[in-house]
């Protein structure tokens, strides 16, 4: 009770005290408090500003990296995206908040050591640095702070592409000379109408001196080939990619007369099994225009014991006069293969299917007329696989449409589709044995008939997948090309 009375007395004395000493302490305390508040608020603003700039740098670097496909305008596109894709201003700067946010980026072909480049074909990385932004102090001015607090941010990113589908060959873009922006073969699908047949002739011959011309077709090195071309056989029989091929595992051309070694693997698709699993996986429809062999009518296309074909060419069929020698009246005599583009053997790239020849094939194998809207061979094949086009008894007697070999297994309709990387060979310097650039565009071709003994293929162009405006975008459903964009710093 005595202590409470004493406290009341002291408070009373303090209330009556007019000396002013408390004001001195309070004034000093105000300065300290303003400094602390300034450090917390304006220091926090600077940290938030730096965070904003870092997010901006990261996003700009990723946007720019997505354009690094090696094409002639890759650096131009990457710079534009890095500088202009994002137009938002940083939120925490209160000094010159508008205007350009990104400085001109720098490009590198390798890291550690960092090697800068201005060559779009070698630009694998993009480095982005933001402009310097500032925070003008408010609280700290009261304690004598001068000038603005400034910061910037930097980020580096790269883009790689992986191919997650069987890819055993490539083609030099036949239209490269007409490109204004070579490098990614982006004009291929615009120039080549769907349904056009190309005779895929292997031009990358012994010594590697025949490759590189527009339209040349060549094989890729089989994994672990080790100079043994026989590894091309199981490589070509694959129905799905064993692994995704990425930049860390680039494909190389396989020069020399190696396509003949791939031929057995190519023709597994036509009821010619050479082993088990993928090496026995046939297409569901294997019509190729050959009569069954009298020695083994149930395994008539390829003899895995002798390594030779047992096919018997039909008498009276003339592929150069298709519609006259293949029609409804001949269906009881022989089976007609799908027609080739007229003159494709002369021009290599045909002029598209002839509707009269398609109708002749239809009458040889099916009842009725060619369905409306069916204008190419792949569409006929799809009708046959789906069961919408039943084979007549005469057609089945001449050549059964389904695999007959006891060793064969049956795949789906995609089994006769092959994937071919499309490359601007001149731009990339692909002549002879070379490492291909990352696959950013591939075309699917429909094998209309078995490959010949040299491994040459008649293929009907179906579609393309890749990164260009005329093809399906990477990472889209059905596209085996995946673009991987990531920050590296």
Q: Are residues 185 and 110 part of one domain?
A: no
Q: Are residues 285 and 364 part of one domain?
A: yes
- Whether the per-residue pLDDT at 304 is higher than 50: the answer is no
User: 414-440: buried (b, 16+ CB within 10 Å) or exposed (e) per residue?
Assistant: ebbbbbbbbbbbbbbebbbbbebbbbb
Please say whether the beta carbons of 423 and 430 come within 8 A. Answer: yes
When divided into structural domains, the chain yields a total of 2
Domain that holds residue 115: 2-162
Domain assignment of residue 335, yes or no? yes
Domain assignment of residue 97, yes or no? yes
Q: Are residues 376 and 320 part of one domain?
A: yes
Q: Are residues 253 and 117 part of one domain?
A: no
User: Last residue of some domain: 162, 196, 225?
Assistant: 162
Q: Are residues 285 and 154 part of one domain?
A: no
Domain assignment of residue 320, yes or no? yes
What letter would DSSP give residue 69?
Answer: S
Q: Are residues 89 and 222 part of one domain?
A: no
CA–CA gap between residue 114 and residue 112 (Å, rounded): 5
User: Last residue of some domain: 129, 162, 195?
Assistant: 162
Q: Are residues 127 and 25 part of one domain?
A: yes
Domain assignment of residue 352, yes or no? yes
- Give me the percent of the chain exceeding a pLDDT of 90: 34
Domain assignment of residue 487, yes or no? no
pLDDT, residue 72, reads: 93
**This prediction's pTM:** 0.83
By C-alpha distance, which of 462, 463, 457 is closest to 288? 457
Domain assignment of residue 28, yes or no? yes
Q: Are residues 250 and 215 part of one domain?
A: yes
User: Last residue of some domain: 136, 162, 188?
Assistant: 162
Choice among 45-49, 102-106, 211-215, 416-420 with the minimum mean pLDDT: 45-49
Residues 6+ apart with CB under 8 A from 276: none
Q: Are residues 174 and 80 part of one domain?
A: no
Q: Are residues 305 and 157 part of one domain?
A: no
Q: Are residues 332 and 462 part of one domain?
A: yes
Q: Are residues 270 and 310 part of one domain?
A: yes
Q: Which pLDDT band, with edges at 50, 70 and 90, does 405 fall under?
A: confident
Domain assignment of residue 489, yes or no? no
pLDDT in tens, 66-92: 999 899 999 999 999 998 877 666 655
pLDDT in tens, 100-120: 788 889 999 998 899 999 999
CA torsion through residues 368, 369, 373, 375, sign: positive
């Amino acid at each position: 009770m005595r202590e409470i009375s004493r406290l009341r007395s002291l408070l009373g004395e303090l209330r009556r005290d007019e000396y002013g000493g408390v004001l001195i302490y309070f004034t000093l305390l105000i300065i300290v408090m303003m400094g602390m508040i300034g450090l917390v608020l304006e220091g926090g603003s600077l940290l938030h500003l730096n965070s904003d700039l870092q997010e901006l740098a990261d996003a700009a670097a990723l946007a720019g990296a997505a354009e690094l496909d090696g094409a002639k305008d890759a650096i131009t596109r990457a710079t534009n995206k890095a500088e202009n894709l994002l137009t938002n201003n940083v939120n925490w700067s209160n000094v010159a908040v508008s205007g350009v946010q990104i400085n001109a980026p720098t490009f590198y072909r390798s890291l550690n050591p960092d090697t800068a480049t201005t060559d779009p074909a070698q630009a694998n990385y993009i480095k982005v640095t933001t402009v310097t932004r500032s925070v003008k102090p408010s609280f700290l001015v009261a304690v004598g702070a001068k000038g603005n607090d400034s910061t910037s941010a930097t980020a580096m990113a790269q883009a790689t592409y992986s191919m997650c589908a069987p890819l055993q060959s490539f083609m030099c873009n036949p239209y490269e000379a007409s490109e204004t922006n070579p490098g990614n073969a982006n004009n291929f699908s615009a120039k080549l109408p769907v349904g056009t047949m190309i005779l895929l002739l292997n031009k990358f011959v012994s010594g590697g001196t025949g490759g590189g011309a527009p339209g040349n077709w060549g094989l890729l090195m089989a994994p672990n080939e080790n100079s043994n071309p026989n590894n091309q056989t199981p490589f070509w029989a694959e129905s799905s990619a064993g692994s995704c091929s990425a930049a860390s595992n680039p494909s190389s051309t396989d020069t020399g007369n190696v396509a003949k070694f791939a031929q057995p693997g190519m023709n597994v698709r036509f009821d010619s099994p050479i082993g088990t699993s993928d090496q026995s996986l046939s297409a569901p429809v294997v019509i190729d225009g050959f009569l069954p062999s009298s020695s083994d009518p149930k395994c008539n296309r390829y003899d895995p014991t002798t390594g030779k074909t047992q096919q018997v060419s039909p008498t009276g069929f003339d592929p150069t006069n298709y519609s006259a020698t293949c029609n409804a009246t001949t269906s009881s005599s022989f089976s007609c293969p799908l027609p080739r583009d007229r003159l494709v053997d002369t021009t290599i790239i045909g002029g598209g299917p002839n509707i009269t020849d398609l109708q002749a094939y239809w009458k040889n194998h099916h009842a009725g007329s060619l369905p409306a809207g069916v204008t190419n061979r792949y569409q006929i094949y799809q009708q046959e696989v789906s069961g919408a086009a039943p084979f007549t008894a005469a057609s089945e007697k001449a050549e059964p449409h389904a695999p007959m070999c006891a060793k064969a297994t049956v795949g789906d309709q995609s089994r006769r589709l092959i994937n071919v990387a499309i490359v601007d060979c001149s731009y990339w310097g692909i002549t002879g044995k070379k490492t291909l650039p990352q696959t950013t565009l591939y075309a699917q071709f429909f094998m209309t008939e078995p490959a010949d003994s040299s491994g040459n293929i008649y293929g009907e162009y179906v579609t393309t997948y890749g990164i260009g405006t005329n093809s399906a975008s990477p990472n889209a459903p059905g596209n085996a090309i995946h673009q991987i964009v990531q920050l590296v710093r």
